[in-house]
Amino acid sequence: MKSLGQFIDGAYEDAGISRFDVVNPVTGEVAYITYEAGRDQVDRAVAAARAALSGPWVRFSAAERGAILRKLANRIAERSEEFLRAEVLDTGKPADMASHLDIPRGAANFSFFADTAPMAMGEAFPAPTPDGAGALNYTLRTPRGVIAVVCPWNLPLLLMTWKVAPALACGNTVVVKPSEETPATATLLGEVMNEVGIPKGVFNVVNGFGAGSTGEFLTSHPDIDGITFTGETVTGTAIMKAAAEGIRPVSFELGGKNAAVVFADCDLDRAIAGTMRSAFLNCGQVCLGTERIYVERPLFDTFVEKLAAQVKTLKPGDPWDKASNFGPLISEVHRQKVLSYYAKAKAEGATIVTGGGIPDMPGKLAGGSWIEPTIWTGLPESSAVIQEEIFGPCCHIAPFDTEDEAVALANAGPYGLAASLWTRDLSRAHRLAARIEVGTLWINSWFLRDLRAAFGGSKKSGIGREGGLHGLDFYTEQRNVCIHL
């Protein structure tokens, strides 16, 4: 049985205040053991990151750092099979999906920000002075310092590097706390950091849990200069309270209860295909996924019928079997949470169009965290199933009659991460784009990502923006220099 420890100051430590199991969600069997980092190890990781701010990494130019980060991206690609096996073992997602999305995007984040960071320009402008001599103001961007990176379990490598890459490109150092469910790829990345010559202490990993454990020790640490987190809103609230001590800045991508709005004039085949992905990709464990679908009444019955037919083509199974295209939930604990919403929907009188339970799986797979993809109709908007983030392979479909009603339904609730809109009427699309309160609105598409675009949520779905030049604002301090001429 393999064990994973911490990665601190360029070295691995198979130690911690306690050991715990990481479970393969495909079978329910223990995949490997790891260790919960205590306060002392978090202190040493932060101290190593702080010391590295006085080393060569910060003194390198953005172009020099970029050259090393491109080597890092290339090395991840060269070792992609190892990263793929680690990611699939942790998450249970189909290997075909992870090989085309998680691993290449994880590597691409480093090369993208290697190219983007040098373009983070300041401004310069003259200003009048009382003596008539004038002054010149210009901006310097400097690294923020030691960044705490707290990661989710649904896209472990991709979302971790989405934060680590811009942080390092801007000259910061990092301490990463991966999810206790999925620590393998973050820990493996330390090996690659050493291989390509990133100085010791620039990248550190501490494993463990959240409240009262490693995550709390890290986010409340007085020597952390900024905290970036992707995950649920409740955890984000706790981290924000910790960040208030010392007035540390935060960048959060939090929960979502995303809507899809489908008009009767849409390209139906594209809308069905897009909604299949948005509701059921990665077993519904995608922050951008659509759990609320609103369909214009003339199309409602046809849409429900066609989407249900597509859902029935999903094939759960061994993630290494190319015939399998649907994985398990991340854990038995999460499955029980999702099943509790399945039970609430049934108790509230939902029409179960398809799914609603646990599939029969053969052999060892019977011990995994499998669940049926599920569609409901007929619930009131006040239902918990419609109001609360479930983070599973399920959606509720309801009809609407007017544009105003569609906008009101899409905007209902506390979240505002993303939405998708399906229509051939581009005038309508532009009108609604200005009214739907989300960080990202896709029109006739879903999850179409340009890494240069601003990404984040409104309302309780987050603070700040990641992506392109927008994300670099969090990872740098802007200093104005004023020269009296």
Active-site positions read 253, 287
- Classified as helix, coil or strand, 46 is helix
Please compute, for residue 295, the number of CA atoms within 13 A of its CA located in the half-sphere on the CB side.
25
| DSSP structure class, residue 21 | E
Phi and psi dihedrals of 22, rounded to 5?
A: -105, 125
| DSSP structure class, residue 316 | B
Would you say 376 and 394 are in contact if contact means Cβ atoms under 8 Å apart?
yes
Would you say 424 and 383 are in contact if contact means Cβ atoms under 8 Å apart?
no
Measured CA to CA, the distance from residue 458 to residue 415 in angstroms comes to 7
Measured CA to CA, the distance from residue 234 to residue 464 in angstroms comes to 17
Tell me the C-alpha to C-alpha distance, in Å, between residue 405 and each of 176, 296, 302, 412, 413: 43, 10, 20, 11, 14
Read off the amino acid at residue 107.
Answer: A
Beta strand spans in 326-434 (E): 351-354, 374-377, 394-400, 415-416, 418-422
Would you say 137 and 442 are in contact if contact means Cβ atoms under 8 Å apart?
no
Q: Within 10 A of 63 (CB to CB), how many other CB atoms are there? A: 11
Measured CA to CA, the distance from residue 312 to residue 280 in angstroms comes to 11
Q: Show the tokens assigned to 118.
A: 């040098």
Radius of gyration of the chain (CA): 23
